[in-house]
Amino acid sequence: MSLLTPEELALELTTLPGWEVRDGWLRKTYNTPGWSHTMLLANTIGYLAEAAWHHPDLSLGYAQVTVKLQTHKVRGLTALDTTLARKIDEVVLWKPGPDSPLEGFPKKWVSA
């Protein structure tokens, strides 16, 4: 497992809106409508992480979840981290589109 070079990481960040590198971690904070959605979000991220067998650190607040990714084996950022970040965004920010027969949650939803 090789670490991403600074150039590779900068390129990845252009396709990961809202993600930042801080203190050696790839991180993003998601805002939620409240505690129950925070728990649903944390469980969704946990499910994705377990399926990927790559586990982030999570910090939970009443209406927010902060995700921190780092490849623990190499103590740095690798393609594992950017790939999981992309999948997390894809799943947790999804809402039905305007042409969908699904209505979608009627109030404020998870945002980044």
Whether residue 68 is contained in a domain is answered as: yes
Whether residue 54 is contained in a domain is answered as: yes
Whether residue 104 is contained in a domain is answered as: no
Whether residue 75 is contained in a domain is answered as: yes
Query: Domain range spanning residue 66?
Result: 6-92
Whether residue 111 is contained in a domain is answered as: no
d(CA 34, CA 38): 6
Residue-wise pLDDT tens digits, 24-75:
999 999 999 999 999 999 999 999 999 999 999 999 999 999 999 999 999 9
- The number of distinct structural domains making up the chain is 1
Whether residue 108 is contained in a domain is answered as: no
Q: Is 5 exposed, middle or buried (0-12, 13-18, 19+ CB in 10 A)?
A: exposed
Whether residue 99 is contained in a domain is answered as: no
> Within 2-78, where are the H helices?
6-13, 35-52
Residue-wise pLDDT tens digits, 18-28:
999 999 999 99
How many residues appear in the chain? 112
**Token couple for 8:** 């590779």
